[in-house]
Structure 1
């Protein structure tokens, strides 16, 4: 059965470069057909009244570990699906499930669980592939990554991981590690995005890595080098490199905790909304009460403390992950960093879609794009989440009525 025609009316429709006031959006067979300031005449379409709220493309989270009490390292399909359903409630329509530094066996096992979950994910944020964060990191910039498993790139190991799954879409690596630069070239050859992370690299290291395929900086400012002094001379680090190399994309954890307003403003001023992606980097405590939690798997993860809207190491010496959901990122950028709403939305939609090479299908409200659509109010409270024309979350309804013809294509 084909999906029903849907017409969203009375909405402030956020396109990549303007807001269509009191606009209408027409969806057919899971794709956007038209956007108009006038009535779209489709007599048999289901009508959804946006109530004057914003209508935007669904948020795309390219770095997320968990939420709702579950984590992608939990080694079960149910956890994958629970995380996807949790974040869909907060406007995320697509995500890159992220696995942490661990053993080769655990990483491969997580990839297999992902593939099983992707085949049955019909209710939550759709999966775009897997982001492997680690284990080839700097010990000095490990952050909350488990030091037991940090190591140098090993071709025998990473080829086995790469050959085990076609679902890997991104891999975060410290580029100064021995063998990291050729590893980046191998990733690019396989269509995988190499990203710079948890690193003590100098500008020369970053420039060399960029020339060999590394094009993204993972959670800018977090667990990375800035200006450093060696033998009395100062050198730029990853932060300065991100600003100097115009073509480098960056992602930021805009939870209002990891970066203060002045740094959010600086990133926006220098990199701009087209080179900056908003990420949650959320762990299992996202959308959960504060208190004790676990970063990584329940059986082998790291104990953390969640307070003040962020996860911390038990001794409070450093952050240990975000508890943000995507709606919070938009509020933070608009209200704390004084960034226009349309740019904040672009940083969570159009930009991450382009970084992943998916700008032709998701990340914007435009004809022929997938109908990944959200509705939210002035406080960015999510009123509806739709994926490929199927409503997966509608808080004002007692239940969401699923049937065979309104499950989206995973």
Structure 2
């Protein structure tokens, strides 16, 4: 029986901070939480924060690798990279690609499900790309956009029998309703995203079974965009619908580059910490120097540039993904947007775990849950990370 005890910890619980606490781990799970006790061989955290490991819903790459590179080593490289930033669970996220690349991505999600090997655990798959609205593709490669049908949807959704599978669909594309109504009862989780749809189209999508919206404010329609193509009266789009419908959860890229602090504050006020998750949406340039990179598969994706702490298109006119880890997003949400620490941590851990349906296993410091832990100093820098109670090193 393997036992690890952390003492003199400031625990970040779902509803409060608990200083001077002891947390014990037995065989990879949290076995006890108590007031600070004298325990021989305990790891003394010196009052630093002990928080649940972060849960990442939307991530493409890091440390020079992308999930669309199509190799197990690329997957593990990305997982190791994000573990250094406090992420202990993640769902690999695809990009717009070609049919064979989509299949390879899903096969690797299947093969490596639950894998750790010194990195974040793969807890599901986020299938992202073929069901976008092409005009809303953003920095994604202009490759294979599909009309949902039984042939491609059966092929792309079979993982739902094994793991949480999230599929993003633009509500306005042909056969979107058929896709959601057919596969949501089979366990597929549907997001709305990369869409120029109207408020009423999102409202319809909610009735079909769509429950989440990707990266709020980014690659989505709003009143101003719809006004460019439609006569008066002005109409609301995906942005306004996401803020309006309480049934919808959403996420923000809190890297300080995609969204100014006031937009983060607006999202937090409108949705609250239980319906708003932090995501990185980061690409392969995380922990890499400034320069040009492939967004998507090496050699066949889209060329973008890392510059001044964010990804941008080569002409510099638009953003092209995040290049930061979840710890940076947590610091931005807390220090720049003023969100209380407990709620900012919840948005990086328990809220995304709940969105995936994994809240009984991960996402908070509770007895019986997996000992996925991150030690943070008082500036919220990552000092240690544990996945299933096993240390993957100090930073």
TM-score by length of 1: 0.92
1:274 equivalent in alignment to 2:277: no
Cα deviation code 1:123-142 (max 9, x no counterpart)? 11000111011211112211
Match runs of 1:150-299 below 5 Å: 150-163=145-158, 166-167=162-163, 169-227=165-223, 228-229=226-227, 230-299=230-299
Distance 1:317 1:282 in 2: 18
Distance 2:192 2:276 in 1: 14
Distance 1:284 1:346 in 2: 26
- Contact conserved, 1:104 with 1:161, CA < 8 A, in 2? no
What is the match of residue 405 of structure 1? Answer: none
Distance 1:200 1:218 in 2: 13
What is the match of residue 343 of structure 2? Answer: 343
Report the secondary structure of 2:80's partner residue.
helix
1:112 equivalent in alignment to 2:107: yes
Shift in Å, 1:262: 0.8
Shift in Å, 1:6: 1.1
Distance 1:161 1:170 in 2: 11
- Contact conserved, 1:88 with 1:393, CA < 8 A, in 2? no
Shift in Å, 1:114: 2.6
Match runs of 1:54-69 below 5 Å: 54-69=49-64
Cα deviation code 1:155-187 (max 9, x no counterpart)? 321212224774561011101111112211233
Distance 1:108 1:139 in 2: 20
- Contact conserved, 1:71 with 1:79, CA < 8 A, in 2? yes
Shift in Å, 1:119: 6.5
Distance 1:104 1:274 in 2: 36
- Contact conserved, 1:104 with 1:157, CA < 8 A, in 2? no
1:382 equivalent in alignment to 2:377: no
| 1:213 to 1:155, Cα distance in 2 relative to 1, 3 A | same
Distance 1:167 1:362 in 2: 15
| Unaligned ranges ≥5, structure 2 | none
Report the secondary structure of 2:354's partner residue.
helix
What is the match of residue 12 of structure 1? Answer: 10
Cα deviation code 1:318-366 (max 9, x no counterpart)? 1111101010011100111011111110000010011011111100001
What is the match of residue 101 of structure 1? Answer: 96
Cα deviation code 1:100-134 (max 9, x no counterpart)? 11222211111122333346532110001110112
Report the secondary structure of 2:143's partner residue.
helix
Report the secondary structure of 2:234's partner residue.
strand
**Could you tell which deviates more after superposition, 117-126 or 233-242?**
117-126
Distance 1:91 1:235 in 2: 41
Distance 2:354 2:135 in 1: 32
- Contact conserved, 1:184 with 1:213, CA < 8 A, in 2? yes
1:306 equivalent in alignment to 2:310: no
What is the match of residue 403 of structure 1? Answer: none
Cα deviation code 1:303-323 (max 9, x no counterpart)? 101102111110112111110
Distance 2:121 2:194 in 1: 27
Shift in Å, 1:253: 0.5
Q: How many pairs were matched up?
A: 390
Distance 1:120 1:274 in 2: 28
Distance 1:136 1:122 in 2: 32
What is the match of residue 44 of structure 2? Answer: 49
Match of 2:137 among 112, 135, 142: 142
Say what the alpha-carbon RMSD is for the aligned residues.
1.5
Distance 2:103 2:80 in 1: 24
1:333 equivalent in alignment to 2:333: yes
Match of 1:79 among 74, 77, 80: 74
| Unaligned ranges ≥5, structure 1 | 396-410
TM-score by length of 2: 0.95
Report the secondary structure of 2:96's partner residue.
coil
